[in-house]
């Protein structure tokens, strides 16, 4: 099983088909790496298929899946995995990640459902992650997800996450916004959660905006600008783990690409700041 610790660097952006018409070479060059959902592109031909090939030949790409349903009750969809494996190699995708959740049984639910935080679920999910890694012949990263209920909970979210990472021996896609959203919705301290993340597992980071439904309820929409507390939590992550490749997600209310690139530039500014601080600290102790 092959692996690259950090297959990309810098600040990335999730590519959506709605962005393609306004995407220029200058805009593309302003982003260090791009992320796509493979389900939205597998089998796509014509103009969009050719455009994707052009982009993946010139820029680093990673894939973030939507439909693997790693915690679902139905058997893994090996027909999909075969198509996915071909797609990852065809486009030289640097990393594949999925959600620590499930989204299907007899059919797709079109939503990310929470996996019960239990020891039984840890063993079940870890076994399925191992199977996927063996099938794809590469390590995958699993994302900590936002959730709004915890049915049958026997352990904390962080204990469940860490147990799955350890037993599956997989990597982590660390979603900073999801930590913030869950900390508000489930009344825990985001920084304390962050401190318990195993640094060696982190492959890359997600950051996004959300919607405040009420004072004690946040919905993870990826439909707004990143807010200041989430930026601050990202800085805490850089302070704790060092600078890690970080990607901006935007799925709804997509503004002009220039506005998104400004947020990507802000990620890069924070990375430069914390890289500089780390170098100063290193030289001081050298």
pLDDT at 101: 86
pLDDT at 105: 53
Residues 204-255: pLDDT tens digits?
Answer: 999 999 878 877 789 888 889 999 999 999 999 999 999 999 999 999 899 9
Binned at pLDDT 50, 70 and 90, residue 106 comes out as: low
Q: pLDDT > 90: what percent of the chain?
A: 75
pLDDT at 104: 45
User: Exposed, middle or buried by CB within 10 Å (0-12, 13-18, 19+), for 34?
Assistant: buried
Indicate the domain borders of the chain: 11-285
pLDDT at 110: 47
Domain 11-285 top-level CATH class: alpha beta
Query: Residue 102: beta bridge partners?
Result: 113
Which has the higher per-residue pLDDT, 232 or 25? 232
pLDDT at 220: 84
- Given a cut of 60, is residue 97 above it in pLDDT? yes
Residues 138-173: pLDDT tens digits?
Answer: 999 999 999 888 778 899 999 999 999 999 999 999
Please answer whether residues 62 and 31 qualify as being in contact, where contact means their C-beta atoms are separated by less than 8 angstroms. no
What pTM value is reported for the model?
0.94
Helix (H) or strand (E) holding 2: none
Binned at pLDDT 50, 70 and 90, residue 4 comes out as: very low
User: What is the DSSP secondary structure assignment for residue 75, as one 8-state letter?
Assistant: P
pLDDT at 152: 82
Binned at pLDDT 50, 70 and 90, residue 107 comes out as: very low
SS3 state of residue 140: coil
Lowest mean pLDDT among 14-18, 59-63, 98-102: 98-102
Strands 171-175 and 202-207: parallel
Count CB-CB contacts under 10 A for residue 192: 10
Distance CA 200, CA 139 (A): 14
Q: What is the mean pLDDT of the chain?
A: 92
């Amino acid at each position: 099983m092959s692996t690259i610790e950090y297959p990309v660097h810098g600040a990335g952006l999730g590519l959506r088909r709605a962005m393609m018409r306004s995407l220029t070479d200058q805009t593309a060059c302003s982003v260090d790496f791009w992320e796509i959902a493979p389900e939205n592109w597998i089998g796509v031909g014509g103009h969009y298929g050719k455009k994707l090939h052009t982009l993946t030949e010139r820029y680093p790409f990673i894939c973030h899946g939507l439909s693997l349903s790693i915690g679902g009750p139905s058997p893994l969809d090996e027909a999909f995995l075969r198509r996915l494996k071909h797609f990852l190699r065809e486009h030289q995708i640097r990393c594949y990640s999925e959600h620590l959740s499930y989204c299907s049984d007899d059919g797709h639910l079109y939503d990310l459902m929470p996996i019960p935080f239990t020891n039984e679920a840890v063993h079940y999910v870890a076994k399925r992650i191992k199977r996927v890694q063996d099938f794809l012949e590469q390590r995958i990263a699993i994302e900590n997800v936002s959730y709004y209920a915890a049915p049958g909970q026997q352990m904390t979210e962080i204990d469940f996450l860490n147990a799955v990472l350890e037993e599956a021996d997989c990597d982590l896609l660390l979603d900073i916004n999801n930590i913030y959203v869950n900390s508000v919705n489930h009344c825990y301290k985001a920084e304390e959660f962050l401190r318990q993340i195993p640094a060696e597992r982190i492959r890359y980071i997600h950051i996004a905006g959300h919607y405040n439904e009420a004072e004690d309820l946040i919905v993870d929409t990826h439909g707004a600008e990143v807010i200041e507390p989430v930026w601050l939590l990202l800085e805490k992550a850089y302070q704790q783990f060092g600078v890690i490749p970080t990607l901006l997600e935007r799925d709804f209310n997509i503004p002009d690409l220039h506005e998104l690139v400004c947020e990507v530039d802000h990620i890069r500014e924070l990375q430069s700041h914390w890289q500089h601080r780390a170098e100063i600290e290193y030289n001081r102790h050298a």
